A and B are shown apart, each in its own frame.
Chain A
Amino acid sequence: DGGITQSPKYLFRKEGQNVTLSCEQNLNHDAMYWYRQDPGQGLRLIYYSQIVNDFQKGDIAEGYSVSREKKESFPLTVTSAQKNPTAFYLCASSTRAVLSGANVLTFGAGSRLTVL
């Protein structure tokens, strides 16, 4: 079945360490996205990529980095510069729909990062 796989599901990190969250999709979607979710908050955009080898910063990109070397993969690195990295991270993908604008985002199951 097609879908988005995020790993790991749970991750613990010591302060000062970088950590990379994996996101892989087999939907042949062009665009991929990373969102962060905190309790009581909606989803906030970290980075997104509309095509391979290109990506744009979202609203809260500071302390994060991404790469898009393959269409299927969009890993997110949480660096030590991110002051409050404990959160739930959601990866999504989409493709251009027949109806302009109705590009539904398909989400992975999420990765929960806890900084100790």
Chain B
Amino acid sequence: AQKITQTQPGMFVQEKEAVTLDCTYDTSDQSYGLFWYKQPSSGEMIFLIYQGSYDEQNATEGRYSLNFQKARKSANLVISASQLGDSAMYFCAMRDSLDSGNTPLVFGKGTRLSVIA
């Protein structure tokens, strides 16, 4: 069974600094996808970034990058130049068996990030 582990329940970061949110995963599949979502206090889930298991380069989307270390089964999210609006819950998620199409995502328990002015 798939499993996502986020070991940091809460993190603090100074505004304009970079921060890394940890995510490790467990799967026996060779083909899988990793996702990061942001959940502000409003509750809506916002997609941030995606990394496929066969992608050779780390994914980047603006200030977000994914530090993908396949051998360690880790997919850490790096947020550069933190802003006050980055304060939110962040969830790591995985889908295995990529050729299965629209299968559900499995989510970790999340990390609450607080950005300090």
Give the segment of B11-19, B69-77, B79-87, B105-113 that binds chain A. Answer: B105-113
Contact with A along B90-117 (1 / 0, CB 8 A): 0101010011011011111110000000
Query: Is the pair A109, B52 in contact by a Cβ cutoff of 8 Å?
Result: no
Inter-chain CA distance A94–B4, complex, in Å, is 21
Query: Is the pair B50, A102 in contact by a Cβ cutoff of 8 Å?
Result: yes
Query: Is the pair B107, A107 in contact by a Cβ cutoff of 8 Å?
Result: no
Tell me the number of A-to-B contacts counted with CB atoms below 8 Å: 71
Query: Is the pair B99, A100 in contact by a Cβ cutoff of 8 Å?
Result: yes
Question: Does A81 reach chain B (CB closer than 8 Å)?
Answer: no
| Residue ID in chain A nearest B32 by CB atoms | A101
Which of A31, A42, A96, A99 makes the CB contact (< 8 A) with B4?
Answer: A42
Q: A45-B104, A58-B104 are in contact. Are A100 and B47 (CB under 8 A)?
A: no
Count of chain B residues with a beta carbon within 8 Å of a chain A beta carbon: 30
Which of A31, A43, A109 makes the CB contact (< 8 A) with B107?
Answer: A43
Question: Does A41 reach chain B (CB closer than 8 Å)?
Answer: yes
Inter-chain CA distance A40–B91, complex, in Å, is 12
| Residue ID in chain B nearest A41 by CB atoms | B109
Contacts of A31 in B (CB 8 A): 101-102
Interface residues of A in 84-107 (CB under 8 A from B): 88, 90, 92, 94-96, 99-107
In the assembled complex, the CB of B74 is this many whole angstroms from the nearest CB of chain A, namely 17
Inter-chain CA distance A46–B34, complex, in Å, is 20
Query: Is the pair B101, A106 in contact by a Cβ cutoff of 8 Å?
Result: no
A-B contact pairs, 25 of them (CB 8 A): A35-B107, A41-B109, A42-B4, A42-B6, A42-B91, A42-B107, A43-B91, A43-B107, A44-B107, A45-B106, A48-B104, A50-B101, A92-B45, A94-B102, A96-B101, A101-B32, A101-B52, A102-B52, A103-B101, A104-B47, A105-B35, A107-B46, A109-B43, A110-B44, A112-B43
